[in-house]
């Protein structure tokens, strides 16, 4: 992967710098279209919720831009309506967003060597952006950094626009959008299917562990408290299964060396 990033930007950047950006934009934008629908809708619902609670649109606008974590913003509305307790708010933010730690671990290698883009990519890594960036098969002629940057930037723009529009509308508008929020469920499911269909034993077993650990924790702890137990359960399972899952990797590398390198480079 490091090999690729050194080669591709070099010759292309000498031709035209704009070309790289446009090419990456064309590759990234179509993947963000479903997120555009989902985020405009969910963001608007969130903005309207704040509007009905008596907040000016400035609140959802700033919160969506600075916090940029959907579920945590909904939680923060309740925090703002209760007694002032910054320490509890901080701890709650850490707990609700603990899954980001795992996103970071997954992207350590992919974000390597991306320079000034890297801090923003990390800052803007919401669930949907992570799902796209971690699973996308970026074509060889597309610059990785710019691809990630466009995905992140588009998604954040959708969310902040949605929240701001919602805050401006407040509760003035009524339209039947029941079920539209399913677009994000569909997005996660399709990415899951893509990873499944494109994966081998190790990838599929990892996916199964993710589903089983979270379904089990959902059944035991309930919808509001299953995230942290799921993350811990996954970590334990991956450590227990490491001899098996890690051997599988080194095994496949030794028997089909070229194949495996291709595989990781395209991601």
Partner 1 sequence: MTMAIWQGVITVAVVAFGTILTRFLPFLVFPESKEPPRVIEYLGAVLPYAMTGLLVVYALRNTPILTGSHGIPELIACVVIVLLHWWKRNMLLSIAAGTIVYMLLVQLVF
Which parts of 123-142 interact with partner 1 (CB under 8 A)? 123, 125, 127, 130-131, 134-135
Cβ 253 vs Cβ 262: under 8 Å: no
CA proximity to 77, closest of 108, 54, 111: 54
CB of 116: closest distance to partner 1 in angstroms?
13
Q: Quick one: which of 21, 11, 257, 12 has its CA closest to 147?
A: 21
Residue corresponding to tokens 């290698």:
109
Site for partner 1 in 233-252 (CB under 8 A): 234-235, 238, 242, 245-246, 249
Tell me: does residue 186 bind partner 1 (CB under 8 A): yes
Find the binder of partner 1 among 6, 13, 90, 244 (CB under 8 A): 90
Applying CB under 8 A, among 11, 15, 18, 108 the residue interacting with partner 1 is: 108
The residue among 14 and 223 lying less far from partner 1, judged by its C-beta, is 223
Segment near partner 1 (CB under 8 A); pick from 8-16, 116-124, 147-155, 160-168: 116-124
Selected binder of partner 1 within 1, 12, 79, 261 (CB under 8 A): 79
User: What DSSP string runs through 169-231?
Assistant: HTT------TTTTHHHHHHHHHHHHHHHHH--HHHHHHHHHHHHHHHHHHHHH-TTT-HHHHH
Looking at the chain, the number of H-run helices and the number of E-run strands are 15, 0
Question: Looking only at residues 200 through 229 of this chain, which bind partner 1 when binding is defined by CB under 8 A?
Answer: 202-204, 206-211, 213-215, 218, 223, 226-227
Q: Is 30 in the site for partner 1 (CB under 8 A)?
A: yes
Structure tokens at 18: 């704009």
- Least distance CB 242 / partner 1 (angstroms): 6
Could you tell me the sign of the dihedral formed by the alpha carbons of 22, 23, 25, 26, in that order? positive
Contact 135, 191 (CB under 8 A): yes
* Interacting span for partner 1 (CB under 8 A) from 95-103, 143-151, 153-161, 163-171: 95-103
Q: CB-wise, 17 or 90, nearer to partner 1? A: 90
Considering only residues 149 to 178 of the shown chain, the ones binding partner 1 according to CB under 8 A are 176, 178
- With binding defined as CB under 8 A, does residue 76 bind partner 1? yes
- Considering only the stretches 21-29, 149-157, 160-168, 180-188, report the one whose residues sit in contact with partner 1 under the rule CB under 8 A: 180-188
Do 121 and 152 meet the contact criterion of CB atoms below 8 Å apart?
yes
Could you say whether residue 105 binds partner 1 (CB under 8 A)?
yes
Question: Which part of the chain contacts partner 1 (CB under 8 A), choosing from 10-18, 27-35, 139-147, 254-262?
Answer: 27-35
* d(C-alpha 236, C-alpha 101), whole Å: 15
| Residue 254 found at the interface with partner 1 (CB under 8 A) | no
User: Chain-centre distance of CA 179, in angstroms?
Assistant: 21
């Amino acid at each position: 992967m490091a090999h690729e990033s050194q080669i591709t930007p070099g010759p292309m950047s000498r031709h035209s710098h704009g070309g790289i950006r446009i090419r990456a934009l064309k590759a990234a934008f179509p993947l963000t279209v479903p997120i555009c629908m989902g985020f405009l809708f969910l963001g608007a619902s969130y903005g309207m919720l704040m509007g009905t609670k008596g907040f000016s649109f400035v609140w959802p606008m700033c919160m969506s831009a600075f916090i940029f974590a959907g579920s945590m913003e909904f939680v923060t509305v309740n925090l703002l309506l209760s007694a002032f307790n910054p320490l509890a708010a901080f701890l709650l933010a850490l707990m609700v967003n603990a899954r980001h730690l795992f996103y970071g671990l997954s992207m350590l290698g992919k974000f390597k060597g991306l320079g000034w883009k890297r801090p923003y990519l990390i800052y803007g890594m919401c669930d949907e952006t992570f799902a796209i960036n971690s699973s996308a098969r970026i074509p060889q002629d597309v610059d990785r950094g710019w691809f990630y940057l466009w995905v992140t930037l588009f998604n954040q723009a959708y969310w902040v626009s949605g929240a701001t529009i919602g805050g401006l509308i407040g509760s003035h508008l009524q339209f039947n959008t029941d079920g539209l929020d399913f677009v994000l469920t569909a997005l996660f499911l399709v990415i899951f299917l893509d990873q499944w269909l494109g994966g081998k034993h190790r990838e599929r077993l990892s996916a199964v562990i993710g589903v089983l650990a979270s379904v089990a924790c959902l059944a035991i702890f309930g919808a509001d408290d299953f995230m942290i137990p799921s993350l811990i359960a996954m970590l334990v399972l991956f450590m227990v299964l490491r001899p098996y899952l890690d051997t599988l990797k080194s095994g496949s590398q030794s028997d089909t060396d070229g194949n495996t390198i291709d595989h990781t480079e395209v991601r």
